[in-house]
Amino acid sequence: MSYANAQERYAQLGVDTEDAIQRAVATPVSAHCWQADDVVGLEVHEGATDSGGLAATGNYPGRARTGDEIRADFETAAGMIPGTLRFNLHAMYAETGGKSVDRDELQPEHFATWIDWCEDRGWGMDFNPTCFAHPKAADGLTLAHPRKSIRDFWVRHCIACREIGGAVAKRLGPCVVNIWVPDGQKDATADLIGSRRLLLKSLDSVLEKRVPKVVDTVESKLFGIGVEDSTVGSHEFYLLYAASRGCGLCFDMGHYHPTENIADKVSAALLFLKPLLIHASRGVRWDSDHVTRFNDDLRAVADAVIRSGMTQHVYWATDFFDASINRVAAWVIGLRSVRKALLWALLEPHASAVEAERAGDGTAKLALAELRAELPFAAVWQELCRRADVPTGLAWLDEVRRYEQQVLIARD
């Protein structure tokens, strides 16, 4: 079906496809850097490190090994992703000129190349403390560590990251700084409330000083490898922390029970706290961080955000890592799926569904919900891609294959 015919079909249901395309393209989506290198980072350090319960599986050729390679890979991916982009960086991607700089000593200068790069391309930039993969996180505890000296180290690291976020914001506009820690216990937790008191105190110290244009968010998780019995920073802990402290809350799609979808949480949370940060991810049986797909879960989250009418208070980012497939393709598939979900939600005949619901007409409401599957969404998506000058269908895969043969294979 042509776009003109699709536009007419949607218009019959009161949906403006032009407005939907414009809003879908204008919504920033923050692309995570760690897909490029399997969450290895660029640090110069000594000593054993702990993964924090993260695991990138696979050994597909072409893993990025330097900041330049990460940047080149994402530039290639970005040419196939429609819409407004941001770039999301972890502290472990500091470029220190070959010097060993511990995490509590990081400065904006260690991320100057990243900031310049984003500025040159018109992208915003977001930032994250890296509270894992470090000798002082070897026992799986950081901000809730019983030893004060280690807790203080991680507090200093998070404060440094907020200052780095502030430097980013001065150049590129508001910077989301999201705090996630792996803290928890493997078995038979004895003093969980004690650990949570420590995390509460540490977070208060980290967030004590306001940093202009830094958007602070905190992120929960159900469990991680090695901390199966309890997680200090649970959903309830961070929900209440964010509501009481006035910071933002991150909903990671993979950080809940496999049968639990965050879509239902969006409308509840937005009534009490702002902003929300959505980490688009895909858990398969657990928080496996599979590449995001245009599936029911993602569509439900996009629906919840768009229906809320509070999109200005919601930030979107991706968070997955798959080392078993072409990593550039992983970015393209994952980020296109998020943009696709936003367009899908914006094309919903929502006003008609609300009208039916308020009139008590469940029959019409259910019929409208089913009708969405029959509407010519693909034609509108292809038009969005055409206007953004990115490939449609599988045409982008040819570009990825060329880059793989010309660049990625040579790395191995």
Catalytic positions, written as ranges: 180, 219, 221, 252, 255, 279, 287, 289, 319
Going by C-alpha positions, the residue among 346, 350, 389 that lies closest to residue 22 is: 346
**Residue 359, CA atoms < 13 Å, CB-side half-sphere:** 11
Q: Which two tokens stand for residue 289?
A: 């961080």
Q: Could you give the angle at the alpha carbon of 317 between the alpha carbons of 311 and 318, nearest 5°?
A: 140
CB–CB of 87/126 below 8 Å? yes
**Residue 179, CA atoms < 13 Å, CB-side half-sphere:** 31
CB–CB of 89/111 below 8 Å? yes
Residue 381: CB atoms within 10 A of its CB come to 23
Pairwise CA distance, residues 320 & 23, whole Å: 25
CB–CB of 292/316 below 8 Å? no
Pairwise CA distance, residues 273 & 271, whole Å: 6
Per-residue three-class SS string for 105-166: HCCHHHHHHHHHHHHHHCCEEEEECCCCCCHHHCCCCCCCCCCHHHHHHHHHHHHHHHHHHH
CA torsion sign for 260, 263, 268, 270 is positive
Q: Which two tokens stand for residue 230?
A: 């309890």
**Residue 289 zone, left/alpha/beta (φ > 0; ψ -120 to 50; rest):** left
Pairwise CA distance, residues 350 & 303, whole Å: 9
Residue 334 one-letter amino acid: G
Q: How many residues does this entry show for the chain?
A: 412
β partners of residue 14: none
CA distances in angstroms from 188 to 234, 321, 380, listed in the order given: 17, 31, 53
